């Protein structure tokens, strides 16, 4: 058996999504910017996808801009939001995705902003009192805080953050890569200026995503070169990916409650079983109301050859991550686990689930974990 438990890194593409993309590949090859019939047909597919996504998120199609994924969307929102609005201060946390932290650090190094880090506790929860203090002490600010941490699963109360940002006239960017398609987002009510999505996190294709830009905020493009995306993002649109993204999101919303119940059941079962192994510790929040139901981060007991734990799991037929997949292969450790003060001597593994995982796969994984822990005890 081969078990895939690295869905926070990427998800397998849904067959229905693939089917729709292939249909477009086979019949719609026109450039969406061309005014002839082939181009108009391609353009209509893109606008239909935009309308579908906007409808699911309760916003206007004019506020959805297609990108190459979450990283480009994050960079666009942060760089253009800060520079075009002349903001001199930004707030984030030390456990944000590198697409956020590294972008803000680069802006600080260039002298564009002063960067502040809001306090977090040992489970990755934001200190909202400290956030308000930072907002009070500084001029108009750019705030970037993610909805759910990609390594820990800890959820941030984005409604509360949005209210604070509105109170102190701050721009709010929220990295929602891990939660779009897994939780409903009502952009008609949520007080957020920028929100992002990557299709491959919700059983869509890699290389496609979107950036939501609230109509009250005006920014210039980060990528120049053409008038695509209403002059917001130069470059010929990835029509196949955009169609796949819209289909994946549509399917995610259709079966969201059932998928959440199924996946949360697998996660809760795994937590119960792992708790019976001496020395197991969970990083981040695990309560369903405080934690992303697709992610479980586990610290194992100190063991010989701890750096070989992921390799041992892989050999045993289990694909998982030692933190964020974007840091795989490095020896500097997870900045997220470092940020919450996790014990560096204990190997940590992120197991992340999808609608395709089964109880049998979890039992198989648990048995292999017991064997590995027993051998290394």
Output the domain CATH number for residue 169. 3.40.640.10
The pTM (predicted TM-score) of the whole model is 0.95
User: What single-letter DSSP state applies at residue 174?
Assistant: E
Domain that holds residue 181: 15-254
- Rounded to the nearest integer, the mean pLDDT of the chain is 94
Q: Return the minimum-mean-pLDDT range out of 28-37, 92-101, 112-121, 338-347.
A: 338-347
Please state, for a pLDDT cut of 70, what percent of the chain lies above it: 96
Asked if residue 329 has pLDDT above 90, the reply is no
DSSP state of 300: P
> Residue 191 — φ and ψ, nearest 5°?
-90, 75
Q: What is the pLDDT of residue 345?
A: 82
CB 155 within 8 A of CB 147: yes
Identify the residue with better confidence: 301 or 76. Answer: 76
pLDDT band at 325 (very low <50, low <70, confident <90, very high): very low
- Band the pLDDT of 322: cuts 50, 70, 90: confident
Could you confirm whether 165 is annotated as catalytic?
A: no
Structure tokens given for 251: 């399917």
CATH number, domain with residue 366: 3.90.1150.10
241 shares a domain with 182: yes
| Number of domains composing the chain | 2
**Residue 241 sits in the same domain as residue 264:** no
How many CA atoms lie within 13 Å of 233's alpha carbon, on the beta-carbon side?
A: 21
Exposure string of 66-85, with b = 16+ CB inside 10 Å and e = fewer, is bbbbbbbbbbbbbbbbbbee
Pairing mode, strands 318-319 and 209-213:
unpaired
Q: Which of 80, 165, 174, 326 is catalytic?
A: 326
pLDDT tier, 305 (very low <50, low <70, confident <90, very high otherwise): low
* pLDDT higher than 80, residue 32: yes
Mean pLDDT value across residues 198-220: 97
- Residue ending a domain, choose from 211, 231, 254: 254
3-state helix, strand, coil in the chain (%, to 5): 45, 15, 40
Residues 131 and 70 in one domain: yes
Q: Is pLDDT of 222 > 60?
A: yes
Cα–Cα distance for residue pair 156/60, rounded to 1 Å? 25
Retrieve residue 197's tokens.
Answer: 């999505």
Q: Supply the pLDDT for residue 375.
A: 74
Q: What is the pLDDT of residue 377?
A: 63
State whether 54 and 148 are in the same domain: yes
DSSP class of residue 302 equals: P
Over range 86-112, report the average pLDDT: 97
Residues 19 and 65 in one domain: yes
Same domain, 247 and 259: no
* Residue that terminates a domain, selected from 236, 254, 272: 254
Give the separation between CA 64 and CA 233, rounded to whole angstroms. Answer: 11
Measure Cα distances from 73 to 80, 102, 263, 329 in Å: 11, 14, 28, 25
pLDDT at residue 34 tops 90: yes
| Per-residue confidence (pLDDT) for residue 327, from 0 to 100 | 45
What local confidence, expressed as pLDDT, does residue 176 receive? 98
Same domain, 279 and 197: no
Q: Which of 19-28, 46-55, 158-167, 343-352 is predicted least confidently?
A: 343-352
State the pLDDT at residue 308. 83
Same domain, 213 and 77: yes
Cα distances (angstroms) measured from residue 316 to each of 28, 305, 375: 43, 16, 13
Are 360 and 230 members of one domain?
Answer: no
If one compares 347 and 270, the residue with the highest pLDDT of the two is: 270
Q: Give the model confidence (pLDDT) of 150-205 as tens digits.
A: 999 999 999 999 999 999 999 999 999 999 999 999 999 999 999 999 999 999 99
Among 254, 270, 296, where does a domain finish?
Answer: 254
């Amino acid at each position: 058996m081969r078990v895939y438990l690295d869905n926070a890194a990427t998800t397998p593409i849904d067959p229905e999504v693939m089917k729709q993309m292939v249909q477009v590949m086979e019949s719609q090859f026109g450039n969406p910017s061309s005014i002839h019939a082939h181009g108009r047909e391609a353009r209509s597919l893109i606008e239909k996808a935009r309308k579908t996504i906007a409808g699911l998120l309760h916003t206007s199609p004019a506020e959805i801009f297609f990108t190459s994924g979450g990283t480009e969307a994050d960079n666009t929102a942060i760089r253009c939001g800060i520079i075009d609005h002349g903001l001199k201060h930004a707030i984030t946390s030390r456990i944000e995705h590198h697409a956020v932290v590294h972008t803000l650090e680069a802006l600080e190094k260039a002298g564009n902003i002063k960067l502040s880090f809001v306090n977090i506790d040992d489970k990755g929860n934001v200190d909202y009192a400290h956030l308000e203090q930072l907002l009070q002490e500084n001029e108009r600010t750019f705030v970037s805080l993610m909805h759910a941490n990609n390594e820990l699963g800890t959820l941030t109360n984005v409604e509360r953050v949005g209210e604070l940002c509105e109170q102190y006239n701050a721009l709010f960017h929220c990295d929602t890569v891990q939660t779009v398609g897994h939780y409903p987002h009502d952009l008609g009510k949520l007080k957020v200026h920028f929100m992002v999505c990557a299709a491959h996190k919700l059983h869509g294709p890699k290389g496609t995503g979107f950036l939501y830009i609230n109509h009250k905020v005006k920014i210039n493009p980060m990528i120049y070169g053409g008038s695509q995306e209403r002059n917001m993002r130069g470059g010929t649109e990835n029509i196949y990916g955009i169609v796949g993204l819209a289909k994946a999101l549509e399917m995610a919303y259709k079966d969201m409650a059932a998928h959440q119940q199924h996946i949360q059941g697998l996660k809760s079962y795994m937590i119960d079983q792992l708790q019976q192994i001496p020395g197991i510790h969970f990083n981040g929040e695990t309560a369903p109301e405080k934690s992303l139901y697709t992610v479980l981060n586990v610290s194992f007991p100190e063991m010989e050859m701890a750096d070989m734990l992921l390799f041992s799991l892989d050999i045993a037929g289990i694909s998982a991550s030692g933190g964020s997949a974007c840091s795989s292969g490095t020896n500097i450790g997870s900045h997220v686990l470092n940020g919450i003060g996790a014990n560096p001597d204990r190997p940590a593994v992120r197991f992340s689930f999808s609608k395709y995982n089964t109880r049998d796969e979890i039992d198989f994984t648990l048995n292999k974990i017991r064997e590995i822990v027993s051998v290394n005890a």
